[in-house]
Structure 1
Amino acid sequence: MPPSSTRARQKPAPAETGPTLDLDRYVPAFITFIANKLSNSATAFYQREFGVNVTEWRIMSLLAIEPGIPASRICHVIGFDKGPVSRTLAGLEKRGLVSIRTDPNDGRTHSIALTARGRATHDKVIVAAFERERRLLSCLSKDERDVLIDLLRRLHENLGAVTGSSTA
């Protein structure tokens, strides 16, 4: 019997029955792998350089686009559940990066906005975010980038076909 370290390095036998994924062609896997790697590297970089993780950055970037939006809108756009968004917002508020105010017209709804400190942080992070995007897309021509963005937008709009919801 070979030593266990040799056995561990042996290539596993291929499955004899049943279908398997071709990870070089299965689109959901590609999208997931790219998203996971981008997210993990962004969190490490943004945390080290700016003191925010990628979830905080996503929320802050949305608040810069839509100041005063409620948490339900953040959940809808980003695709996160209410719990993680609420915890992230509480942490951002505690650090003085966002303000959360009760909507005077509906006491159940809160208006969320970046504070001046949050906007200053956003304005630093966005420069790095654009540079990361530029480097990621540097292997594509302008026309290819335009096609990619169009295809991704169409996939996003078609998510209801697999999620069961009517909106992405």
Structure 2
Amino acid sequence: MSEKTGTPRKAPPREPEGQGLTLDLDRYVPAFITFIANKLSNSATAFYQRNFGVNVTEWRIMSLLAIEPGIPASRICSVIGFDKGPVSRTLALMKGRGLIAIRNDPEDGRSHSISLTAKGRATHDKVIVAALERERRLLACLDKNEQEVLIALLRRIHDNLDAVTGAS
């Protein structure tokens, strides 16, 4: 691993010694995405918990509810890519802390409408400033054009996830 970046160093080319194929972690995109996501999530949870009393999962839900007030839990699961169980547990904790309100959907009695409370919105409005600053610092190594290219490429990869997830 590189001490500066925490990414694997490129090993000199060699023949595998009876172990079969190995990944080149300097080029294997799923590993890069996972390593980046894990490090960003872990540091975000520590930072947001320390400064705002929310973890990164709660922040993701809050940010989505600010964009789409009144959505059901199924929509939250779909957008952020989490299973129903962890999302339900997180929503229950957030409701208990007064960050969200959960109401029966008047159009579908089996579904619930989830919204930020005034306290949840106030917390969101504090966290978003820090989140955008963290993003700015992360992308500071890229010029504006490179940032736009990165976003476009990530969007294309995201749109192509069905090719490996089996989702329809």
TM-score by length of 1: 0.90
Q: SS where residue 100 of structure 1 aligns?
A: strand
Question: How does 1:84-163 map onto structure 2 within 5 Å?
Answer: 84-163=86-165
Partner Cα separation in structure 1 for residue 116 and residue 107 of structure 2:
21
Question: How does 1:73-88 map onto structure 2 within 5 Å?
Answer: 73-88=75-90
> In the TM superposition, what is the alpha-carbon distance from 1:15 to its structure 2 partner?
5.2
Partner Cα separation in structure 2 for residue 103 and residue 76 of structure 1:
18
The aligned counterpart of 1:68 is: 70
The aligned counterpart of 1:43 is: 45
Q: Quick one: which amino acid aligns to residue 161 of structure 2?
A: L
Q: SS where residue 99 of structure 1 aligns?
A: strand
Partner Cα separation in structure 1 for residue 16 and residue 104 of structure 2:
57
The aligned counterpart of 2:34 is: 32
> In the TM superposition, what is the alpha-carbon distance from 1:106 to its structure 2 partner?
1.1
Structure with the greater alpha carbon radius of gyration? 1
> In the TM superposition, what is the alpha-carbon distance from 1:107 to its structure 2 partner?
1.1
Q: Quick one: which amino acid aligns to residue 115 of structure 1?
A: T
Partner Cα separation in structure 2 for residue 117 and residue 147 of structure 1:
37
Partner Cα separation in structure 2 for residue 88 and residue 61 of structure 1:
14
Q: Quick one: which amino acid aligns to residue 143 of structure 2?
A: S
Partner Cα separation in structure 2 for residue 160 and residue 77 of structure 1:
14
Which consecutive unaligned segments of at least 5 residues does structure 1 have? 1-13
RMSD after superposition = 0.9
Which consecutive unaligned segments of at least 5 residues does structure 2 have? 1-14
Q: SS where residue 31 of structure 1 aligns?
A: helix
Partner Cα separation in structure 1 for residue 16 and residue 56 of structure 2:
38
TM-score by length of 2: 0.90
1:16 aligns with 2:17: yes
> After the TM superposition, which of the residue ranges 99-108 and 132-141 deviates more from structure 2?
99-108
> In the TM superposition, what is the alpha-carbon distance from 1:108 to its structure 2 partner?
0.6
Partner Cα separation in structure 2 for residue 62 and residue 105 of structure 1:
21
Identity %: 82
Structure 1 runs (4+) greater than 2 angstroms displaced: none
**Which deviations, in whole Å up to 9, do the C-alpha atoms of 1:98-148 show, x marking residues without a partner?**
000001121110000000000000000000000000000000000000000
